[in-house]
Structure 1
Amino acid sequence: MAEVSTVVLLDPLRPDVVPIEAVSFLSGPVQIDGTVPEPVRVALPQSTAGAAVIVMMDGDGPRIAALATSGARIVRAAPVHGDRLVEAASIMDRLWKRGGWEATQTHESLSVYLVEETYEVLDAILSGDEIDLREELGDLLLQVLFHSRIAQAHGVFELDDVAGALIDKLVHRSPHLTSSGVVDIAEQELAWERLKDVEKARASSMDGIAKSQPPILLAKKVMNRAARAGVTEIIPQATLESLIERCREADAALVDALDLLIAEVRNWETQQSRA
């Protein structure tokens, strides 16, 4: 059997795409490895046993390393930025199709996790722990994948539609993407808000405010929108600030009480572990 001189690796995420560097190696006899899916196999030249060029799926680390050690040239496509996002979406799809817990969820049942994961991201930011932040952002990404998959199951939209809507928004609201030179941040922010207002075409500056956010954040958003609209005298500023301060005090008192409870639970758990 001829020694393998070249290994053409196909990307499992897009097995029907051949690396451009590999095209010249596919003009002669090739072995088609059993790992190559049948739909891809039929599009390739007929497999020739013992050929010096072998086409196989990427991913079998030890086997590929052994071939490289034997002197074979390894040809694979360069990784595409965002490939792991595609892989994550594929895993989400596989989980859904298995019909387990994932397939029983709804937008409503997951909403509590979405809020919780968002605050865990904020905690990671405040802690300054970049490794923790990476993990928490992954958990938040899972929520995006999950809600997109639920919508796909109902024929409403899918993950690509979510990404497409974001792309359209970023391109439309970021005219500086096509300009050169230094970006003026103040002008950039102004352009973003102006284009956003045109897109939304809201009848009121109060439209689109998320009412489910915590009261203090809601107050800040409403007051900012009111100031932009030029309406600031309906409720005295002092009254609003007093109410906001009362919210802060109540939040602080609740956090202090919960910190005591957390400490007590940890103390109890420590005692139980020693018992």
Structure 2
Amino acid sequence: MTTEAPAPGRIVLLTASHRVAPGLLSWPAWQTLHAAGRVLCADDGHPQLPYLREAGITVEITAPSAEELVRACEGGTTIVVVPAGEGDQALTDGLARMAGSGRVQMPDLELLPGSYDLPGARLLDLVQVMDRIRNECPWSSTQTHKGLAKYGIEEAYELVEAIEDGDRDELREELGDVLLQVVFHARIAQEGSEEDGAAPFSIDDVAGTIVEKLIHRHPHVFGDEHAETPEDVKEHWLRTKAIEKQRDSVTDGVPLGQPGLALAAKLASRVRTSGLTVPVPSGDGIGYELLALALKAESSGADPEAALRAAARAYRDAILAAEGHEGSEAHEARE
């Protein structure tokens, strides 16, 4: 008479995102927790524990080895392990070694996601990292909005360069650098201003403001209006923006400190969309000639600033060729 081997049981490693509030677990996770023979966790301060206990789940605070865990499953027991950080790698490595040895009857192993990151969840990590840097870094803790202003300009130009180069890896990095500037400034603003008594605001206030603006300026998406073409969308946007800003002039809000060609094109765009008839000023000097060229480019749908940058790059390549270099790529590799 042969004796049947005991049922191997089941080990469930429950994972949960630290970016999701504790207790917000998936329905399969709650079902598995309630049906489990044992629930183990090595960390008595784990943020999930109060919610598990409130749901009537008994959690044993213990850190078994892989061998102990496998033995505990004999007889068909299902054990759920709530990962606790330190020691988790040793446990999973031990289970992998035992399974790979072929000498042990292993229980069923399952990795069960209890919660998932939502899109944008890593932004929470960025906010936390920035908060710590602001508090602990000797350089970052002393920075001001004015002191960081030049970096915002530099990062914006580097982003444009990555776009024009068509380098997606560089684009991803430069977008991160621009995002850092936003989060850095918001973190500084969170402290308020002792000099002028300005009220503090946080990154949530920044995000909330732009969310409200986007919803308000897209009534064809979030409201009852309709837009069939990009031109319709732009008309909605400009009309809504004009009502919000209550500007006295079409030139209001145009930053005069931007590069000259971009400034001329922006003013020309405002004039064109407003329906005004404005004579182009004339005078002696290269400035008026450049102004006329910028207005001509804008009226034809071209970006004069981008066009000049493209021409300047071609000129840079010509210089490299005259110097005997193979091309712009070799030069950029040395920068």
Measured against the shorter chain, the TM-score band is 0.7 to 0.9
Once the two structures are superposed, residues 145-202 of structure 1 have per-residue CA deviations (whole angstroms, 9 ceiling, x without a partner) of 1111111122521111111111111111112224799842221111111111111111
Alignment equivalent of 1:244, drawn from 291, 307, 318: 291
Counterpart-to-counterpart distance in 2, 1:182 and 1:86: 34
Which residue is 1:13 aligned to? 19
SS at match of 1:30: strand
Which residue is 2:332 aligned to? none
What is the identity percentage for the equivalent residue pairs of Structure 1 and Structure 2?
30
Given that residues 13 and 111 in structure 2 are in contact (C-alpha distance below 8 angstroms), is that contact kept between their aligned partners in structure 1? yes
2:270 maps to amino acid: R
Counterpart-to-counterpart distance in 2, 1:225 and 1:182: 21
More helix by share: 1
Q: Which moved more, 1:197-206 or 1:231-240?
A: 231-240
- Structure 1 residue 9, shift from structure 2 partner: 1.4
Given that residues 8 and 22 in structure 1 are in contact (C-alpha distance below 8 angstroms), is that contact kept between their aligned partners in structure 2? yes
- Structure 1 residue 5, shift from structure 2 partner: 1.6
SS at match of 2:13: strand
SS at match of 2:83: strand
Once the two structures are superposed, residues 12-56 of structure 1 have per-residue CA deviations (whole angstroms, 9 ceiling, x without a partner) of 22351432121122325421232x745543333242256711212
Once the two structures are superposed, residues 195-224 of structure 1 have per-residue CA deviations (whole angstroms, 9 ceiling, x without a partner) of 111111112211111122112211111232
Given that residues 32 and 54 in structure 1 are in contact (C-alpha distance below 8 angstroms), is that contact kept between their aligned partners in structure 2? yes
Q: Which moved more, 1:5-14 or 1:138-147?
A: 5-14
CA RMSD, aligned part only?
A: 3.9
Which residue is 1:273 aligned to? none
Q: Which moved more, 1:122-131 or 1:215-224?
A: 215-224
What pairs with 1:1-275 in structure 2 (closer than 5 Å)?
A: 5-20=11-26, 21-27=28-34, 29-34=38-43, 37-45=45-53, 46-48=58-60, 49=62, 52-57=79-84, 62=89, 66=93, 71-76=108-113, 77-154=115-192, 156-178=200-222, 183-227=228-272, 228=274, 230-233=276-279, 235-236=281-282, 241-244=288-291
Given that residues 10 and 58 in structure 1 are in contact (C-alpha distance below 8 angstroms), is that contact kept between their aligned partners in structure 2? no
1:19 maps to amino acid: L
Which residue is 1:269 aligned to? none
Structure 2 vs 1, CA of residues 3 and 156 (structure 1 numbering), >3 Å: closer, same or farther?
farther
Once the two structures are superposed, residues 242-275 of structure 1 have per-residue CA deviations (whole angstroms, 9 ceiling, x without a partner) of 1437999xx99x9979x98xx99xxxxxxxxxxx
SS at match of 1:7: strand
Q: Which moved more, 1:20-29 or 1:215-224?
A: 20-29
Counterpart-to-counterpart distance in 2, 1:13 and 1:183: 39
Given that residues 227 and 233 in structure 2 are in contact (C-alpha distance below 8 angstroms), is that contact kept between their aligned partners in structure 1? no
Once the two structures are superposed, residues 73-99 of structure 1 have per-residue CA deviations (whole angstroms, 9 ceiling, x without a partner) of 222223311112221222111211214
Q: Which moved more, 1:48-57 or 1:148-157?
A: 48-57
**Structure 1 segments unaligned to the other structure (5+ residues):** 265-275
Counterpart-to-counterpart distance in 1, 2:87 and 2:236: 49
Structure exhibiting the larger radius of gyration computed from Cα positions: 2
Given that residues 13 and 80 in structure 2 are in contact (C-alpha distance below 8 angstroms), is that contact kept between their aligned partners in structure 1? yes
Given that residues 10 and 17 in structure 1 are in contact (C-alpha distance below 8 angstroms), is that contact kept between their aligned partners in structure 2? no
Counterpart-to-counterpart distance in 2, 1:238 and 1:59: 74
Counterpart-to-counterpart distance in 1, 2:213 and 2:283: 35
What is the total number of aligned residue pairs between the two structures?
Answer: 259
SS at match of 1:6: strand
- Structure 1 residue 113, shift from structure 2 partner: 0.6
Counterpart-to-counterpart distance in 2, 1:180 and 1:200: 21
Counterpart-to-counterpart distance in 1, 2:147 and 2:109: 52
Structure 2 vs 1, CA of residues 115 and 57 (structure 1 numbering), >3 Å: closer, same or farther?
farther
Which residue is 2:102 aligned to? none
Counterpart-to-counterpart distance in 1, 2:216 and 2:87: 43
1:72 maps to amino acid: L
Counterpart-to-counterpart distance in 1, 2:225 and 2:266: 33
- Structure 1 residue 229, shift from structure 2 partner: 5.4
- Structure 1 residue 129, shift from structure 2 partner: 1.0
1:73 maps to amino acid: E
Counterpart-to-counterpart distance in 1, 2:213 and 2:180: 22
